[in-house]
């Protein structure tokens, strides 16, 4: 599979970043909800540290992903009505914003609360704001609510992909998957 996108499918780089980040975001969201319910103690603190490190990794991958997206032209959309194209692009735009806003709100919350921040016990990262207990509650709520907003938008995103796959029977989903043959491959594309 080529690293770059072709005329008919997403390349290895875009696919890897899409699925790795989807796993990272959803896994980290579930971890966040679980750790919130944990009793105080070392296990909770260690889980917090892992949650924050995964979240920072997602943020770093987002920078790489957006840079790659600007550098490597996306495959043209599969044929679809204009409203669907607009809805899909708007959804993608909101997902990009949420991929930025969720880890950033976590980082802001962490700063306002005065917690330390390390990436996998490797190096420290600075606070983004001065400690402020009153504001930290709002930031914590925002962090959580944004994750639930992501789940709602994701329902539309995944729903759209599955409708295209099962009902329109086009390549929208297949071209984001590795090692699968397209339904009507474009010229010069390997499966």
- Count of C-beta atoms within a 10 Å radius of residue 152: 10
Instruction: Using CB under 6 A, pick the residue from 1, 154, 156, 182 that binds ligand HEM.
Output: 154
State yes or no: residue 137 binds ligand HEM (CB under 6 A).
no
Instruction: Using CB under 6 A, pick the residue from 1, 69, 127, 129 that binds ligand HEM.
Output: 69
Instruction: Using CB under 6 A, pick the residue from 13, 17, 29, 112 that binds ligand HEM.
Output: 29
62-67: long-range pairs with CB below 8 Å, 24+: 62/21, 62/96, 62/99, 62/100, 62/103, 64/17, 65/14, 65/17, 65/18, 65/21, 66/96
Q: Total number of residues binding ligand HEM (CB under 6 A)?
A: 43
Are 54 and 27 within 8 A, CB to CB? yes
Pattern 172-191, ligand HEM, x by CB under 6 A:
xx-xx---------------
State yes or no: residue 44 binds ligand HEM (CB under 6 A).
no
State yes or no: residue 74 binds ligand HEM (CB under 6 A).
yes
Sign for the pseudo-dihedral over CA of 41, 42, 43, 48: positive
**What is each CA distance from 134 to 44, 138, 187, in whole angstroms?**
23, 7, 59
Mark 34-60 as b/e (b = at least 16 C-beta within 10 Å): ebeeeeeeeeeeebbbebbbbbbbbbe
Binders of ligand HEM among 96-115, rule CB under 6 A?
A: 96, 99, 102-103, 106-107, 109-110
State yes or no: residue 28 binds ligand HEM (CB under 6 A).
yes
Q: How far is the CB of 97 from ligand HEM (least distance, A)?
A: 9
Q: How far is the CB of 187 from ligand HEM (least distance, A)?
A: 19
Q: Which of 102, 127, 124, 125 is nearest to 112 (CA)?
A: 127
User: Residues interacting with ligand HEM, by CB under 6 A?
Assistant: 18, 22, 24-26, 28-29, 32-33, 36, 48, 51-52, 55-56, 58, 69, 74, 77, 88, 92, 95-96, 99, 102-103, 106-107, 109-110, 117, 140, 143-144, 147, 154, 157-158, 161, 172-173, 175-176
């Amino acid at each position: 599979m080529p690293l770059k996108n072709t005329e008919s499918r997403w390349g290895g780089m875009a696919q890897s970043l899409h699925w790795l980040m989807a796993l990272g975001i959803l896994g980290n969201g579930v971890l966040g909800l679980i750790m919130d319910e944990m009793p105080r103690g070392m296990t909770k603190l260690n889980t917090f540290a892992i949650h924050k490190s995964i979240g920072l990794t997602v943020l770093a991958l987002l920078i790489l992903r957006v840079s790659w997206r600007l550098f490597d032209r996306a495959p043209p959309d599969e044929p679809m009505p204009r409203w669907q194209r607009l809805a899909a692009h708007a959804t993608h735009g909101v997902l990009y914003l949420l991929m930025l806003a969720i880890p950033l709100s976590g980082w802001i919350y962490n700063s306002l609360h005065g917690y330390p921040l390390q990436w996998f016990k490797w190096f420290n990262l600075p606070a983004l704001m001065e400690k402020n207990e009153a504001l930290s509650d709002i930031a914590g709520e925002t962090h959580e609510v944004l994750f639930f907003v992501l789940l709602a938008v994701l329902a539309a995103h995944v729903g759209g992909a599955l409708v295209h796959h099962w009902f329109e029977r086009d390549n929208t989903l297949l071209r984001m998957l590795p090692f699968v043959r397209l339904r009507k491959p474009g010229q010069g594309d390997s499966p």
